[in-house]
Each structure stands twice: as C-alpha cells, then as structure tokens.
Structure 1
Amino acid sequence: MKSVELFAGAGGLAMGCEIAGFEHLAVVEWDKWACDTVRENQKRGYPLVEGWNLHEGDVRGFDWSSIPEGIELLAGGPPCQPFSIGGKHGAYDDRRDMFPATVEILRKLKPKAFIVENVKGLTRAAFANYYQYILLQLEFPELPRRASEEWHDHLSRLQTERTSGKRKGKGNTYNVVATLVNAADFGVPQKRERVFMVGFRDDLGVEWSFPEQTHSYDALLHSQWVTGEYWERHSLKMPPVPAKLQSRVSKLQNDFLPMEYAPWMTVRDAIADLPDPQTARSVTVSNHVFQGGARMYPGHTGSPYDLPAKTLKAGDHGVPGGENMLVKENGEVRYFTVRESARIQTFPDGFRFHGSWTETMRQLGNAVPVLLAQKVAASVAEKLAVAEILRLQKISKRVVRSA
C-alpha cells in the first residue's frame, strides 16, 4: 500500500506506518537535523528507512504532481506549536499553522485514507471553533477557502455543506474520526496525550473506530501492589504501598477480578537493561551518553522509575515540569539520555539519532511513539485491505453476470 508522510521529523509516525505495511513514496521534512537522522540511518542500511524517498524542505514546495492520485494513505503531524500548552497559542494567526497546507495536499492527492496527529492543546476550549474548522476542512477538502474569505466565514460555508449532505458518497469527501488518546493506554511507557484525526474517503464505505485500549493504570497497580509480579519481574523486593495509593489498592485487592488490560509500561520497564550512563566506565549503546546539569525545584520534577514517563517535550534544560528528567531511586535527578528517550518513544534500538543532545531531544519530543503509530496505521491498513477485497469481489460478480 502506497503512502506519503508529511512533517516527518525523525520518523516516528512514518516508521509506525512502514511497520504496518505502508510504502512511502515521499517523506517530507523541513528540519535539517531530523533529515540528517534519517539520512544517517539510510547510509547504515537501517531497513525501516532505507527505501524512503526523503525530501528536505517545506511541504508546500514539493512537486505533488510526482505522486499519483488515489494512494492508500497520507499521514503526518503538522507543527504543534500553534496549539501546544507551551506555545504562544496563535492557532490560525500563527504562520506555523500547517493545517491549510495539509488540506491542500489532501485535495491534490485524494488518498483513500489519512492519519493526522497533533497535541492535546488543539482540543482546548480556546480553539473549539478552529478545531471544528480543521475537522470540516479535512472532511471537505474539495471546498477550499476563497481568496477573500475569512476562516470563520469558510467555517460557516463548510457547516452548511455538511448539514446538506449533498457531497457525501461521491468520493470527494472523507468520513473523519477524531480521538484523544493517552499513549500509555496502548503500551507506550509514557503518559502522552495526543489527538488523532483519521479519515477514509467516503466512496470506500469503510466503518472504522480507533483501536481499543490495551493497557491501564489499574492493571499496573494490581501487578505492583496486589500480585507483586512487577517487582518480581525486575528482581526487586516489593516496597510498602505508598500512602496515597492505599485506598485504590485496597479496592483492587477486594475486587478479585482479572485485569481487563495489561499493565501500563513504566520507565523501569523501558530502560532497566541499559547501563547507568552516569556510573558506567564505558557505554557501548548508541546515543546513551550522560548529560549533566539536571536539577529539581518546585514545579520542575522528573519522571519516577515505576510509572510511565511524563510527556517528553521538544526541549532540554528549560523544559517546564522537568519532563525530560529521571528521578533516581535515591531521589536525585538526571536527564534521560537520548537512547532512554528513544526507548520511551518506542523507537527501536537499531535506529540512531543525529546531532547534539539538544537537537536529538527536540526530535524525540516532537515524535509520535512508533508503537502507537503502528497500532493506528495497522487498523487503517486492515480496513483498506478489506475495502479493496470487497471492491474486487463486486467487479468479479459483474464480470460473471455479464458473461
């Protein structure tokens, strides 16, 4: 199945799509450092990225006529700064808003499906109307904004079109599902909330819902404080139950019910087998180098070992909340190494990051966890495969009847 990747960064979403069975005809990213990471892995022959047609530059400058119409998938995460909690919240007034460019490419390529990912901040009340506007543009890419039209006037026109239902079922609109998810609920060792906007061309007749949750916090607490399996697995003695968890753990102990989900994955699960970069005499693991300077102060705390990490962010020393730090068992803090951060983002160990610690942490903070991307893309690929089988069956029946 053919696909195109926009705003690829270091390739988290693109790699997840690749694992799910999509073949990228173009992978577009403007940032030199992120492109250097992909190029370095291509030179090494890393299989997931080796065949990518990487284009360093603005998506608006790419020759989209070189990509055939009707490919299976368009995927990408437009820059999140206009909507992120840490950004300036400019939304439609922010020149970095790449949703208009995304819709333009969707209109040109007419893919069978798309996956668009962005930050939770996009769903905030302050952006409610613009969020609806984005979703309606994705639903009706064939109705672009007019030259003299304000975005809210375009929104009204799209709302009218949607309620009329005139364009539905003709293959020029998309059935769009938007879902806010926590990556930890899907096996990623990180509490990372993101919104996924997934659409299927309406002539395909696809019925799709977001993949079901596979992991939970209660299952983690059960394995830690009821069965003790978590500590046994890590060859550790079970510590006392923290006071703030007593009532919740007691309820889990009294329920006597099997856990519906697997336990959330923790920082310890992700990095326990890596040597301590601060004390190891020599480190042979790529991108696993100690970075000094971490410190804790009010409002700037790191991630504990035995929970999923806080959301990794695109920064280093000045990241609010200390999300890029690990709280060691003695209470001290240190920065996550690049390799530890890559583990937390579920990048495979064979994939190496290029650039300084600051640059690589920025790449990782902007990335989609590979595992989450794979699960979403696999569910889309399955529906597209079924739709194609049904299409061929219909053709076969018509041929038989006409024979």
Structure 2
Amino acid sequence: MQSVELFAGAGGLGIGISQAGFTPVEIVERDRWCCDTISENRRNGVAPVAKWPAAEPRDVTKTSFTTHEGKVELVSGGPPCQPFSLGGKHAAHNDARDMWPAAVRAVREIRPKAFIFENVKGLTRESFASYLAYIVHQLTYPELVRTDDEAWTDHLSRLERHHTGHAARGLAYRVVYRVLNAANFGIPQRRERVIFVGFREDLGIEWNFPPPTYSLDALIWDQVNGDYWERHGIAKRDRAMDSRLLARGKALREKPELGAWRTTRDAIGDLPDPELHPDLAATHLNHRFQPGARSYPGHTGSPLDEPAKTLKAGVHGVPGGENMLVRPNGGVRYFTVRESARLQTFPDNYAFHGSWSETMRQLGNAVPVELATLLARDVRAHLLAANHAGGRA
C-alpha cells in the first residue's frame, strides 16, 4: 500500500507508517534540517528510511499532488501546530503557519482511501471549538472548497448546511478524532496529542481508535509491590515514590489488567550517564552531555521512575523547553538527543542532524514512532479487509 507523507519533520510518523506496511511515494517537508536528518539516515541505509524517496526542502502550499490521484491508500502528516500550541500565540486561523488548508487540499487532490493527521492537544480547547469543527468538516467534504471572498466562518456554515442537508456525494470521508495519551500505548512519555483518522465514504469502513493497553495504576502496582524496582536492580533504600502515587497504590486491591506505563528509566536506564561517563556515552549515537540545565517554577524536569513529561520543541522560553531529567538526588540535567529519541521510540541507529537545540526541536515536534505504527497498522488492516470484501484483494 502506498502513502504520501506531509509535514514529515524528522520522520517519526512516517517511520511508524512504513513499519506498519505502507510504502511512501512522496515525502514533503519544508525545513532543511529535518530534510537533512531524513537524508542522512537514507544514505546510511537505516530502515525503513533507506527505501524512502528523496526529501528535499519543499513548501507544501506550492506542491501539487494530482499525479497521485487514485494511486495512494494513505495520506498522513502533522500540520504545523504553532497556531494551537499552549506555548504559542494561539492565533489559529489568523496564523500564516496554519497548514490545515494545505492538508485538506492534498486529500482533495490525492483522493486517498484513508488519512491520519496529528496535532497538539491545544487544538481541542474550548476557544478553538469552532475552528476544530471547521477542520473536521473540511476533511469530511474536501471538495467543498472555500472561495476567495468567503470568510472561514461562512465556509463553515456552508459545510454544516451541506452536512445536514445532503446525502454524501462526491468525495467524502468518515472522520473521527480523539486526544490520545501516548503513555497509554506503551510510550515512555506523557504526551497528549489529537489524532484525526478518516476513511473514504465509499469504502463503508467502520473504525474506532484502539483501546489503551497500558495504565498508571499498573505501574504503581508494580512499584508498590517491588516488581519494577527488582527488574531494574534498585536497592530498597533507593526506591523513591511520589507520596500521592504511593497512597494511590496502597488503595489498589488487585493487579490491573493492562500493562504498566513505561518510565524514563525503562527507556534510558541502560545508557551511560553522559555527564558522569562521557567516554562511554560517546559510543552511542547522539548521546552527548548538554550543560546549562536548571530548575525553576514550571520547569522542573521529568522524574526517572515515571513516564517523561512531554518533550517540547524549544519555543517555550528556554532552548529545549523542559526537556530535563530529574536525578534521584534531585539534581537536573538536559536529556541528550539519544535519550530524547528513546522517549520518542526512534530506532537507536537513527541519526539526528544539527545542533542540540535544533535536534531537540525536531524531536519535540515528532510523533512517537511506536504510536504511529500501532495506529497505521490498525488502519491498514481495515483497508485490507475492505479490499477483500470488495473483491480487490
């Protein structure tokens, strides 16, 4: 099955989608550092990027996708999120960086069987409710195009009238969206993002988001009962838990059925400390100590024995946002690029191009690879089932 990747960034979403069985025929990304990262891994033969088409800096708003019409099963991407980010200016539809119109145009021109788009949780805030509805309606009816003299609110009204007054005709999609916490799906990071999934109406596919497979209670259970600490070889005197989590754990009466949330220690515990053991750290790709970390209110870092806080893209007042580790002794240091890549579930042989602050921006904007794989694999299974039912297997 073929795919087109928009706003590819450092490649997290695209890698996951490739691992799920899709073959990208076009990769579109404007930022040259991101393109350099993809190109370096492509040259190095890193799977699955080695088989991707070339990634040269391109503006999606100036790219035509008509050559892919009817030939591509999936369109995916993360339209730039600054207009909706909690750390941005919240300009939304008044922000020139809002790339949702370009994403809708790509769907209109390619006519894929399905799409997967990702964005920040801030898009679902009450202040953006109307614009969120606007995005969903545009994705549902991508051929109902906004005219040059039409305000977006008027276009939304026209889309709503079409939605309520007509049976689906022309190009239409069944669209669902949900805020997912990556930690609930085995990612060692509390990362909440809104995911949009759509299937072309004529396929008749019924779909829902996969249920969570990991939980906080399961992690607390393992810690209170000692299993977690034993697995990591942590002495009893060093087994520190947040008092609220400890109280919650003592109230649990039976072991939760779901898997335990993965923690920062689970993700990076086998890597040498880059500050204490720089020579050993140098044997790992992109694993170099970055000085200058400090803690202050609102910027306290990620505890070692919980999932990491959301990695940020470095636009929140300090380089790298709050991308710090809290040591067991209370000290803090910045995550290395390799540690951050582990938290985003990139392969260990995947190199990141650019300075520390630049690569942290790439990682802070990325979709966790394993979460992308899980979602894309489920979407692909439903497409295969629809093909089989239609006699096109």
After TM superposition, is the score higher than 0.5? Answer: yes
2:268 to 258, 267, 271: 271
Is the aligned partner of 1:261 residue 2:258? yes
Shift in Å at residue 70 of structure 1?
Answer: 4.4
What residue number does 1:15 align with?
A: 15
Shift in Å at residue 300 of structure 1?
Answer: 1.4
Deviations 1:114-152 (A, max 9, x none): 001000000001100000000000000010101211000
> Map of 1:2-401 to 2, 5 A cutoff?
2-53=2-53, 54-166=55-167, 168=168, 170=169, 172-225=171-224, 227-238=225-236, 239=239, 242-252=242-252, 255-256=253-254, 258-282=255-279, 283-315=282-314, 318-319=317-318, 323-392=322-391
Shift in Å at residue 63 of structure 1?
Answer: 3.4
Would you say the 8 A contact 2:278–2:289 is kept in 1?
no
Query: Which deviates more from structure 2 when the two are superposed, residues 80-89 or residues 258-267?
Result: 258-267
Would you say the 8 A contact 2:320–2:360 is kept in 1?
no
| 2:134 match: secondary structure | helix
Would you say the 8 A contact 2:313–2:364 is kept in 1?
yes
| 1:92 match: secondary structure | helix
What residue number does 1:401 align with?
A: none
**Structure 1: 5+ residue runs without aligned partners?**
396-403
Instruction: Provide the TM-score with structure 1 as the length reference.
Output: 0.93
Would you say the 8 A contact 1:316–1:361 is kept in 2?
no
**Structure 1 residues 269 and 235: CA distance shift in structure 2, 3 A:** same
Structure 1 CA distance for aligned equivalents of residues 316 and 122 of structure 2: 22
- Root-mean-square deviation (CA, aligned residues, Å) is 1.6
Structure 1 CA distance for aligned equivalents of residues 211 and 278 of structure 2: 44
Q: Which one-letter code corresponds to 2:342 in the other structure?
A: R
Q: Which one-letter code corresponds to 2:58 in the other structure?
A: G
Q: Runs in 1 of length 4+ with deviation above 6 angstroms? A: none
Shift in Å at residue 241 of structure 1?
Answer: 5.2
Structure 2 CA distance for aligned equivalents of residues 371 and 250 of structure 1: 32
Would you say the 8 A contact 1:80–1:119 is kept in 2?
yes
Structure 2 CA distance for aligned equivalents of residues 260 and 175 of structure 1: 32
Structure 2 CA distance for aligned equivalents of residues 165 and 229 of structure 1: 57
Structure 1 CA distance for aligned equivalents of residues 177 and 316 of structure 2: 33
Shift in Å at residue 47 of structure 1?
Answer: 2.0
Structure 2 CA distance for aligned equivalents of residues 321 and 50 of structure 1: 28
Instruction: Provide the TM-score with structure 2 as the length reference.
Output: 0.96
Deviations 1:372-398 (A, max 9, x none): 1111111100000000001117x9xxx
Query: Which deviates more from structure 2 when the two are superposed, residues 35-44 or residues 45-54?
Result: 45-54
Structure 1 CA distance for aligned equivalents of residues 66 and 288 of structure 2: 44
Shift in Å at residue 65 of structure 1?
Answer: 2.9
Q: Which one-letter code corresponds to 1:12 in the other structure?
A: G
Deviations 1:154-198 (A, max 9, x none): 0001111111232x2x46100000111100000000000000010
Q: Which one-letter code corresponds to 1:10 in the other structure?
A: A
Would you say the 8 A contact 1:140–1:173 is kept in 2?
yes
Structure of larger gyration radius: 1
How many corresponding residue pairs? 388
| 1:30 match: secondary structure | coil
Deviations 1:230-269 (A, max 9, x none): 00000112436543234312211xx23x322100000000
Would you say the 8 A contact 2:265–2:304 is kept in 1?
yes
Deviations 1:39-83 (A, max 9, x none): 111111112111212242111222323324241100000000000
Structure 2 CA distance for aligned equivalents of residues 246 and 284 of structure 1: 37
| 1:274 match: secondary structure | coil
Would you say the 8 A contact 1:171–1:202 is kept in 2?
no
Shift in Å at residue 153 of structure 1?
Answer: 0.5
**Structure 1 residues 39 and 320: CA distance shift in structure 2, 3 A:** closer
Shift in Å at residue 84 of structure 1?
Answer: 0.2
Query: Which deviates more from structure 2 when the two are superposed, residues 43-52 or residues 93-102?
Result: 43-52
Question: Identity of aligned pairs, percent?
Answer: 56
Structure 2 CA distance for aligned equivalents of residues 79 and 322 of structure 1: 17
| 1:180 match: secondary structure | strand
Deviations 1:291-332 (A, max 9, x none): 000011122100010000000000189449962000011111
**Structure 1 residues 145 and 243: CA distance shift in structure 2, 3 A:** same
Q: Which one-letter code corresponds to 1:269 in the other structure?
A: D
Q: Which one-letter code corresponds to 2:271 in the other structure?
A: L
Q: Which one-letter code corresponds to 2:230 in the other structure?
A: E
**Structure 1 residues 173 and 316: CA distance shift in structure 2, 3 A:** closer
